[in-house]
Amino acid sequence: MNNFIYQNPTKLIFGKGEIARLPQLIPADKRIMITFGGGSVKRNEVYDQVVKALAGRDFIEFWGIEANPSVETLRKAIALGKEKKVDFLLAVGGGSVIDGTKLISAGLLYEGDAWELVLKGSYSKTVPLATVLTMAATGSEMNSGAVISRYETQEKYAFYSNYPVFSILDPETLYSLPKRQIACGLADTFVHVLEQYMTTPGQSRLMDRWAEGILHTVVEIAPRALGDERDYDTMSEYMLSATLALNDMIRMGVTQDWATHMIGHELTALHGLTHGATLAIVINGTLRTLHDQKHGKLLQYGERIWGITDGTEEERIDRTIARTEEFFRSLGLSTRLSEEGIGEATIAEIERRFTASGVHHGEAGNVDGAMARRILEACL
């Protein structure tokens, strides 16, 4: 096991009806900006619950943080927040709203342009931020990361600032989600775990078990989550799985990968494809291309998650990767670039970007432009 530091201060408030706790959770003297995406929270009554809970409190609203939140939009929120002297942020939405609000929370205390913060990669001086989660996928409600896009240059980068002081997770807020969003959320959760698990074997038995615990759960609940999104227990498992998949708890003392995410971010930046949908495609290419490096863990994963124990090791690995792709297809997601009309032009652009950045991604630091091309070609 590697040395590590773990600290996650976010207060998780989980369960039906918990949005009503908001007034106890935000100090009475705070000038709040509530941030939203589109209008879905008005249709599913989350908006009503939030404004009812905060009746009489000093708040303003900022609407329109889009999927893959853009610095272009967030600059407007920062300007408004500075003008109104906001000192508490409440993000009501999914990962995109929360990610965007993390940049706002840093931007409110920064003199320069918000894109400078993104290029810095991290910034710790922030206004307190809390969340009411309405879409389970990114884990942003209990981690310090965000992913911010810049539309004018088709760029998309990770940015690290603050953990939410609290996050309210009411599974009933997921009841009105479109099935495709649930599918993408399940895929995102699954691949978040793989990024922290499909690495060098034998680093931590315990972290392996916890990662596998989330994978098992996602596999078991997926059919029902897609079949009856008003099943409270199923949506509870889904919501908690998504949070625990990316809140630092399953990466204590172990290496991580994240190459699939880095390639996926490029697909979103270039084609606007939903994050989870990019992962459902790229992960297959990653596992196929790096199967030698991930040999031991692929065998363990195949045996423990999919019960694949017969045949030679190579046969077991082939079947394990095929079974993984089949799982994503069972969610109704594409698993091939060609299904999304993506081909050589995009591969060439991603290869160019990776090469130009000079950064080598992945656990072994070997996912450069050429390797990104191989991975993408393996999922054409």
Cα dist. 218→32, 211, 222, 286, 351 in Å? 35, 11, 6, 20, 32
Q: Name which position in 11, 76, 179, 230 contacts its own copies (CB under 8 A).
A: 11
- Token couple for 321: 């990767």
Determine, following the binding rule CB under 8 A, whether residue 226 of this chain makes contact with its own copies: no
Cβ closest to its own copies, residue 13 vs residue 322: 13
Q: Residue 2 Cβ, how far from its own copies at the closest point, in Å?
A: 7
27 binds its own copies per the rule CB under 8 A? no
Degrees (nearest 5) of the Cα angle 23, 29, 35?
A: 60
- How many of the chain's residues bind its own copies (CB under 8 A)? 42
Which element (helix H / strand E) includes 145?
A: strand 145-150
Q: What distance in Å separates the CA atoms of residue 156 and residue 262, rounded to the nearest whole number?
A: 9
- Residues with Cβ within 8 Å of 310's Cβ and at least 6 positions away in sequence, in order, are 316
Q: Return the residue of 114, 182, 191, 214 that touches its own copies, per CB under 8 A.
A: 214
Interhelix angle 95-107/71-83, nearest 10 degrees: 50
> Smallest distance, Å, CB 132 to its own copies?
15
Query: If binding is defined by CB under 8 A, does position 42 make contact with its own copies?
Result: no
Q: Which residues pair with 32 in a beta bridge?
A: 59, 88
Q: Judged by CB under 8 A, which of 249, 270, 364, 380 binds its own copies?
A: 249
206 binds its own copies (CB under 8 A): yes
What letter does residue 361 receive in the DSSP assignment? Answer: B
Q: Contact region for its own copies (CB under 8 A) — 13-21, 79-87, 332-340, 362-370?
A: 13-21
Q: Count of CB atoms within 10 A of residue 16's CB?
A: 11
The nearer residue to its own copies, 202 or 343, going by C-beta atoms, is 202
- 210 in contact with its own copies (CB under 8 A): yes
Whole-number Cα distances in Å, 122 to 15, 46, 125, 157: 32, 31, 10, 11
Contact 300, 208 (CB under 8 A): yes
Q: Please tell me whether residue 259 binds its own copies under the rule CB under 8 A.
A: no
Asked if residue 24 binds its own copies (CB under 8 A), the reply is no
From the CB of 255, what's the least distance to its own copies, in Å?
14
Q: What is the SS3 assignment for 62-111? A: ECCCCCCCEHHHHHHHHHHHHHCCCCEEEEEECHHHHHHHHHHHHHCCCC
Q: Does 48 bind its own copies (CB under 8 A)?
A: no
Binding its own copies (rule: CB under 8 A), the pick from 35, 126, 236, 320 is: 236
Out of 125, 209, 230, 329, the only residue in the binding site for its own copies (CB under 8 A) is 209
Q: Would you call 159 helix, strand, or coil by DSSP?
A: strand
| CB proximity list for 24: less than 8 A, separation 6 or greater | none
Would you say 302 and 287 are in contact if contact means Cβ atoms under 8 Å apart? no
Contact residues for 144 (Cβ-Cβ < 8 A; gap 6+): 102, 160, 161, 162, 163
For 179, the token pair is 């099935």
Distance CA 316, CA 153 (A): 43
Which residue in 128, 201, 213, 332 binds its own copies (CB under 8 A)? 213
Contact flags string 151-190 toward its own copies, x per CB under 8 A: --------------------x-------------------
DSSP β-ladder status, 166-169 and 129-133: parallel
Decide: is 60 part of the binding site for its own copies (CB under 8 A).
Answer: no
- Based on the shown chain and the rule CB under 8 A, indicate whether residue 323 belongs to the binding site for its own copies: no
Q: Which stretch binds its own copies (CB under 8 A): 15-23, 68-76, 101-109, 342-350?
A: 15-23
The interface region with its own copies, picked from 2-10, 82-90, 100-108, 133-141 by CB under 8 A, is 2-10
The verdict on 221 binding its own copies (CB under 8 A) reads: yes
CB of 355 to its own copies, least distance (A): 35
Residue from 253, 311, 343, 365 that binds its own copies (CB under 8 A)? Answer: 253
Considering only 146-154, 245-253, 317-325, 327-335, which stretch makes contact with its own copies by CB under 8 A?
Answer: 245-253
Residues that bind its own copies (CB under 8 A): 1-18, 171, 202, 204-206, 209-210, 212-214, 216-217, 220-221, 232-233, 236-237, 240-241, 244, 249, 252-253
